[in-house]
């Protein structure tokens, strides 16, 4: 993280002119030190931009849902251990998860759904605050592994696009490092499905590998080299904000939790 204003300003972004909203910036001081950028969309016409040249390559998800399911089925038994020392594009994974768990507002008895729950690393931090946890994952093996570790969780197979719970079932919906698995053409549908199962007054806390602009993504791609996964399709802050507003969320905030990680807070 960046602990002085000069380095933060040089590393993150400059505010420039774009479409129809302004991104207002303030800085949060999380537990344990370090600063994280918090951005709030407002109804004007400024937008965050990077000064680097945009990457003009075509970026498409090349891995099928069946291949993704097989990948996580195979990974389930070592998933938790492997992420303890995550590197590459997941570098800072634990810090981002911890920051997100601190920012999420949780009260005793709150019903929380974790989408792409994996083995429960994010969910268990919310459970420690008093949350009643349910979770879904597209991988049956991952669900089984999570159930062994957390027998009190209500777990089902499911995805962002098809959540197997009733309307308005949850006070809080969370997800970590999962949304990029949703094909770009289905992300609005996914946001609408999240809205459906969220109670009035509830909110979504979505943590993922996300970029402020195409140029920021291109810069990261050029630095990551062999660590960049061409089979993934990462979201942009502006695009995901537009989808959330189109799905009828009333307010969207952004928190940068790591070098390549952002958290979105969207309110119903």
Which domain CATH number covers 98? 3.40.50.150
Cα 11 to Cα 5, 88, 140, 203, 229, distances in angstroms: 10, 18, 40, 29, 23
- Tell me the pTM: 0.76
Residue 45, in any domain of the structure: no
- The answer to the question of residue 16 being in a domain is no
Q: Is residue 203 predicted with pLDDT exceeding 70?
A: yes
Selection from 122, 125, 108, 252 nearest residue 191 by Cα: 252
Q: Which of 14-23, 125-134, 142-151 has the lowest mean pLDDT?
A: 14-23
Q: How many residues does the chain have?
A: 268
The CA distances from residue 36 to 2, 47, 114, 220, in Å, are 8, 18, 23, 19
Query: Angle at Cα 162 formed by Cα 198 and Cα 136, nearest 5°?
Result: 75
Residue 188 domain-assigned (yes or no) = yes
Residue 40 lies in a domain: no
The most confident of the ranges 13-27, 30-44, 80-94, 101-115 is 101-115
Residue 129 counted as domain residue: yes
Element (H, E) at 72: helix 65-75
| Distance separating the N- and C-terminal Cα atoms of the chain | 30
Q: Above 50 in pLDDT, residue 108?
A: yes
- Does 31 map to a domain? no
* pLDDT-based confidence at residue 62 (cuts at 50, 70, 90): low
Average pLDDT, the chain: 79
198 by DSSP, 3-state: which?
Answer: strand
- Burial (Cβ within 10 Å: 0-12, 13-18, ≥19) of residue 53: exposed
Quote the tokens at residue 210.
């996300």
Task: Select the highest-mean-pLDDT range: 27-31, 59-63, 68-72, 200-204.
Answer: 200-204
**Over residues 251-264, mean pLDDT:** 95
Domain for residue 37, yes or no? no
Domain range enclosing 252 = 65-267
Number of domains in the chain: 1
pLDDT at 84: 74
In a domain, 48, yes or no: no
CA dihedral of 56, 235, 161, 79, whole degrees rounded to 10: 110
């Amino acid at each position: 993280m960046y602990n002085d204003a000069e380095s933060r300003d040089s590393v993150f972004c400059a505010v420039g002119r774009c479409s129809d909203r302004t991104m207002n910036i303030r800085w949060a001081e999380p537990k344990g030190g370090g600063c994280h950028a918090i951005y709030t969309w407002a109804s004007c016409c400024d937008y965050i931009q990077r000064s680097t040249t945009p990457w003009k390559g075509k970026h498409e998800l090349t891995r099928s849902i069946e291949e993704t399911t097989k990948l996580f089925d195979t990974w389930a038994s070592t998933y938790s251990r492997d992420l303890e020392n995550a590197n590459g594009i997941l570098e800072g994974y634990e810090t981002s998860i911890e920051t997100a768990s601190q920012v999420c507002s949780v009260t005793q008895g709150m019903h929380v759904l974790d989408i792409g729950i994996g083995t429960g690393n994010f969910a268990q931090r919310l459970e420690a605050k008093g949350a009643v946890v349910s979770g879904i994952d597209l991988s049956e093996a991952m669900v089984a592994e999570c159930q062994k570790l957390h027998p009190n969780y209500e777990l089902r197979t499911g995805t962002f696009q098809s959540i197997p719970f009733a309307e308005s079932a949850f006070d809080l919906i969370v997800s970590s490092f999962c949304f990029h698995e949703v094909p770009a053409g289905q992300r609005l549908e996914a946001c609408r499905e999240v809205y459906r199962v969220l109670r009035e007054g509830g909110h979504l806390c979505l943590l993922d590998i996300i970029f402020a602009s195409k140029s920021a993504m291109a810069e990261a791609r050029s630095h990551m080299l062999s660590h960049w996964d061409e089979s993934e399709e990462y979201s942009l802050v502006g695009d995901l904000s537009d989808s959330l507003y189109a799905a009828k969320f009333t307010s969207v905030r952004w928190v940068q939790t790591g070098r390549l990680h952002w958290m979105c807070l969207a309110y119903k």
